[in-house]
Amino acid sequence: MKLIATGIAESEAGPDEPFLLERFIPYRLSVLTNLLSRAIGRLYGRRFGLAIPEWRVMAVLARFAPLAAAELCTRTAMDKVQVSRAVARLKAAGYIVRSVDTADRRRSRLRLSSSGRAVHDAIVPMARAAEAKFIADLAPADRATLDRLLGLLLDRAQTLDAAGNIADKT
Amino acid sequence: MKLIATGIAESEAGPDEPFLLERFIPYRLSVLTNLLSRAIGRLYGRRFGLAIPEWRVMAVLARFAPLAAAELCTRTAMDKVQVSRAVARLKAAGYIVRSVDTADRRRSRLRLSSSGRAVHDAIVPMARAAEAKFIADLAPADRATLDRLLGLLLDRAQTLDAAGNIADKT
DNA sequence: GAATAATAGTTACAAATGAAACTAATTGCA
DNA sequence: TGCAATTAGTTTCATTTGTAACTATTATTC
């Protein structure tokens, strides 16, 4: 069943026209992301008992370890509570190892354990396959545009979120 | 601070290359949607005490009332528990009116109250302004492409979610 | 070089969410 | 009819999430 129509963006509609939720871009992005996160969450969760925040931490540690929690926050775009909890679960599962930064004993140095690395390496092809399947419908030019638009819109959203004034006429 | 790089999609990377979370499309979509939902949630919440699910219900009722809860589920892409709770809060706030369908007394007939309509009409321009601001950076061609891609990807995500096999090689 | 402020990370508590059990009403069918 | 199966919607309970308070350590300042 097709729930969401395509056509002009809602914001191009004049003020007297009815508001069309199904064309409202933030709504469509939200539905899209929820569907995709759910599908991908099943992917990690079913076989490895990982939630998405945990997978994000593992993916970043695989590349940049050792990292402190604060650096994980920056790299994963998660807040420090989320990171703290993801790290705690991964440590309990034996997928990461924590040591204390000797130069600053508040900071931790986090890295994947060998079993964590093995899980990571097993998941990566699945994640790539899922992404490929998701965009399989798109022509090469559309993929490039999508990639570029995601960059632009992320910048924009970060700016608007930080400014906190998304509705003002600025 | 720019967190997310642009470039080729992660799925185009070869199997021996490191996994780049910051280029992984589901990750970028998730970060984007969370930022945007947070910004827009503040918009509805601050002035009107509405959460996003409630606003969605109001937007759909404004156009299609009277509706039963099940129809709200279809139109908002929310599940019946979410809808039930959103309806309960809106009823408590006096923004919607519920009557019982005389032909099937399990079903309800929901519509906006006059104060609900007033709130709706006050929010619509704010929502439109927020969307316009969000895509203000985009050239007209990019807006059209975004609109089209959202449609394609939503279809795709619905299919993959329903099939539950996003990682298989199908 | 103490006292204060700032920072890294965790914990606690409250609100939101999701899955499953439940109630009430209707439909199907013997 | 009468009983099982289905459907609409709500409630319950466990989990997740977000904000704020907290602990431990380091930096600053007088």
Decide: B61 and B42 in contact? Cβ < 8 Å: no
Element (DSSP H or E) covering residue A98: strand A96-100
- Is the residue at B31 inside a domain? no
Calculate the alpha carbon distances from B156 to A23, A86, B27, B95 in Å.
17, 30, 17, 35
How far apart are alpha carbons B66 and A111 in whole angstroms? 56
- Rounded to 5°, angle at Cα B143 from B153 and B125: 100
Q: How many domains does chain B have?
A: 1
Calculate the alpha carbon distances from A70 to A61, A81, A84, A106, B19 in Å.
12, 10, 9, 11, 21
Find the CATH number of the domain harbouring B65: 1.10.10.10
Which residue in this structure is represented by tokens 């092809």?
Answer: A125
- Is the residue at A67 inside a domain? yes
Q: Do A131 and B24 touch (CB under 8 A)?
A: yes
Q: Which residue is nearest to nucleotide D26 (CA to C1')?
A: A104
Q: Do B35 and A148 touch (CB under 8 A)?
A: no
The DSSP result for B85-116, as a single string, is: HHHHHHHHHTSEEEEE-SSSTTSEEEEE-HHH
- Is the residue at A13 inside a domain? no
Decide: B141 and A149 in contact? Cβ < 8 Å: no
Given pLDDT bands bounded at 50, 70 and 90, which one contains residue A3?
Answer: very low
- Is the residue at B11 inside a domain? no
- Is the residue at A80 inside a domain? yes
Three-class SS string for A21-60?
Answer: HHHCHHHHHHHHHHHHHHHHHHHHHHHHCCCHHHHHHHHH
Q: Tens digits of per-residue pLDDT, A141-152?
A: 999 999 999 999
- Is the residue at A117 inside a domain? yes
Q: How many Cβ atoms sit within 10 Å of the Cβ of residue B114?
A: 10
Which residues does strand C reach (CB under 7 angstroms)? A 68-70, 80-81, 83-85, 87-88, 104, 106-108; B 51, 53, 79, 81-82, 85, 104-106
Tokens coding A108: 């931790």
- Is the residue at B70 inside a domain? yes
Domain that residue B99 falls in: 50-135
Q: Tens digits of per-residue pLDDT, A43-66?
A: 888 788 899 999 999 999 999 979
Q: Would you write out chain B's pLDDT as a tens digit for each of its 170 residues?
A: 444 454 566 766 666 688 999 999 999 999 999 989 888 888 888 788 899 999 999 999 999 979 999 999 999 989 999 999 999 999 999 999 999 989 889 999 999 999 999 999 999 999 999 999 999 989 999 999 999 999 999 999 888 877 766 766 44
Radius of gyration over alpha carbons of chain A, in Å?
20
- Is the residue at A162 inside a domain? no
